[in-house]
Structure 1
Amino acid sequence: MRSQNHGRFIWTELMTADLEAAGAFYSAVIGWNVKSVAMPDLPAYFLFEIGEGDDCAGIGGMMNFPPELDGKLPPNWSGYVAVDDVDQTCRDYVDHGGRVQRQPEDIPGIGRFAVVADPHGAVLCIMTPLPPKDPQREARPDEAGNVGWHELYAGDDEEAFDFYSRVFGWTLAETVDMGPMGKYRVFAHGGQRAGGMMTRPQNVPMSCWRYYFIVDGIDVASARITTAGGRIVNGPMEVPGGNWIVQALDPQGAFFCLTAARR
């Protein structure tokens, strides 16, 4: 039987070519604190945190490209999903038509992880985390700076939902008819809405996951994007449910999204 943690998004991670510039950009736009973490025998790693002092909560991290990927990929955000057994989930991915991009391995003191792709090529990281030595509080689901939504642009939304429901146990919370754009399937984990998936538009070249970070107001946050050197590629726009979103590129070219309850 799967645990309640299996299938839950637990982390986001930015791979970028300029750590200092990226940290300054996201601090200005979203308000994150950037904190360096020393990990023996591993490359430099930085945490994105919200809150102050003992009230801090980590929501993600940032690192340079590892040597084997340097120059082969553009800067990008990845999501981590908790699983009960990384090795078994890799087998589940393959059994249901996905593939393993990076074989399971241990990160000392952190957990065991792997990089996987669904049948249409959308990439996620999976992890069985170890209990932290110095646990922080967990960010509230609606807290500014946290990840508010996880969105998949799928090769086929119906096939994608079937795949993820089998591997992670996600359930269907709602289906929204978007007319010519097809259906938008809102998925839930443990009864809580976690994100949505749709068949990717023709102008999106490949299946991919997108991550929406919560801000207090979409217009002021959009202004911070351009002031800090980023570029807005879509929005601001209102989405079903009344929230506002904007999609953008940071100065190094990583795609990211913001969401807010008000404009």
Structure 2
Amino acid sequence: MAKFDTHLPGTFCWPELSTTNWQQGKAFYTQLFNWGFDDQPIGEGVFYTMLQQDGLDIGAMYQMEAAQQESGMPSHWLNYIAVDDVDLMTEKAKKLNAEIICGPMNVGDAGKMSLMVEPGGAMFALWQGAEHPGARKLKEPGTMVWNELATRNANKSKAFYCDLFDWQVKDQDMQGMAYSLFFIRDQEEPVAGMMTMTDEWPEDIPAHWMIYFAVTDCDAYIEKAKNLGANICVEATDVPGVGRFSVITDPQGAVFSIIQSETP
């Protein structure tokens, strides 16, 4: 499969887990997906763990700071989007009413990033790769394959991302539910999806970007996740023309999805 040495601006390039229990979280994901890992020291007894497949970085995880845990922040996956110029794009996002949490900031010689919350309430990050482009493998079993925005204000979120990244939108009906696909201009393959959070969603769930990992057998991975202590939020569900997916909460509380695609 393809090895990524760079990522097209406006595409999702890196998943990162902030967890309340680094050791247990690492054990869960490496057993579930058969990932390798490389613990890189970033402080006394603190590591930034590169998650790997076939020796290539496909994501990362780290121990959440105590102050963040005390504030009530749950374990969570963060989605990074590739850009050519993080300074320029951060300023553009700010003018589009995004709240900049931190950055732009250099991450050693790996690259430069900024973290923000968009007007609809979802958090995401920008990444300008240097020595580290982001995930070296995507869209194959055990790696990030899809990113989906859940928002309570679809119009506000749609306008923000289209203005920031020059994404184009295609709205469609998916089993009676309004669903939007985002495209980079002149590209045929969508880069992300968006769904509206209805009144059926619990009020305490904020807008968020959901990460999907590709699997070859959705049902088998659900059973494996259960045996490793995960909770299943959405049982295996078929989406005609797309595949079979499930939403899972890991033992530390971070939510992610798996999907068995109908087509490669």
Partner deviation per Cα, 1:17-62 (whole Å, 9 max, x = no partner): 21121111112222211221235789411011112xxxx3211100
Residue identity opposite 1:129 in structure 2: G
Distance 1:188 1:86 in 2: 20
Distance 2:228 2:217 in 1: 17
* Aligned twin of 2:255: 255
- Residues 12-31 of structure 1: pairs in structure 2 closer than 5 A: 12-31=15-34
TM-score, length of structure 1 as denominator length: 0.87
The 8 Å contact of residues 58 and 134 in structure 2, kept in 1 or not, is answered as no
* Aligned twin of 2:171: 175
* Aligned twin of 1:243: 243
* Aligned twin of 1:79: 79
Partner deviation per Cα, 1:53-75 (whole Å, 9 max, x = no partner): xxx32111000113542322111
Distance 2:135 2:174 in 1: 38
Distance 2:255 2:98 in 1: 24
Identity among equivalent pairs (%) = 25
Partner deviation per Cα, 1:201-236 (whole Å, 9 max, x = no partner): 321432111000011100000000100000101121
DSSP-derived class of the 1:171 partner: strand
Distance 1:213 1:104 in 2: 28
CA-CA distance at 1:117 after TM superposition: 0.9
Distance 1:236 1:107 in 2: 38
- Residues 1-263 of structure 1: pairs in structure 2 closer than 5 A: 5-39=8-42, 43-51=46-54, 56-72=55-71, 73-132=73-132, 138-141=136-139, 143-172=140-169, 174-178=170-174, 181=177, 183-189=178-184, 191=187, 192-202=189-199, 203-204=201-202, 205-261=205-261
- Gap regions ≥5 residues in structure 2: 1-5
Residue identity opposite 1:106 in structure 2: N
Residue identity opposite 2:254 in structure 1: A
DSSP-derived class of the 1:131 partner: coil
Taking only aligned residues, the RMSD between alpha carbons, in angstroms, comes to 2.4
DSSP-derived class of the 1:163 partner: helix
How many residues were matched structurally?
A: 251
Residue identity opposite 1:122 in structure 2: A
Q: Do the aligned partners of residues 201 and 45 (structure 1) sit closer, same or farther apart at CA in structure 2, a change above 3 Å counting? A: same
The 8 Å contact of residues 144 and 213 in structure 2, kept in 1 or not, is answered as yes
Distance 1:227 1:62 in 2: 21
Distance 1:82 1:258 in 2: 22
Q: Do the aligned partners of residues 179 and 100 (structure 1) sit closer, same or farther apart at CA in structure 2, a change above 3 Å counting? A: same
Distance 2:75 2:21 in 1: 9
Distance 1:66 1:157 in 2: 32
TM-score, length of structure 2 as denominator length: 0.87
The 8 Å contact of residues 19 and 254 in structure 2, kept in 1 or not, is answered as yes
CA-CA distance at 1:238 after TM superposition: 0.8
DSSP-derived class of the 1:100 partner: strand
CA-CA distance at 1:8 after TM superposition: 1.7
Q: Do the aligned partners of residues 140 and 223 (structure 1) sit closer, same or farther apart at CA in structure 2, a change above 3 Å counting? A: same
- Gap regions ≥5 residues in structure 1: none
**Runs of 4+, deviation exceeding 3 Å:** 38-43, 178-181
Partner deviation per Cα, 1:170-227 (whole Å, 9 max, x = no partner): 222x42224764x200112362222200111321432111000011100000000100
DSSP-derived class of the 1:112 partner: strand
Q: Do the aligned partners of residues 198 and 137 (structure 1) sit closer, same or farther apart at CA in structure 2, a change above 3 Å counting? A: closer
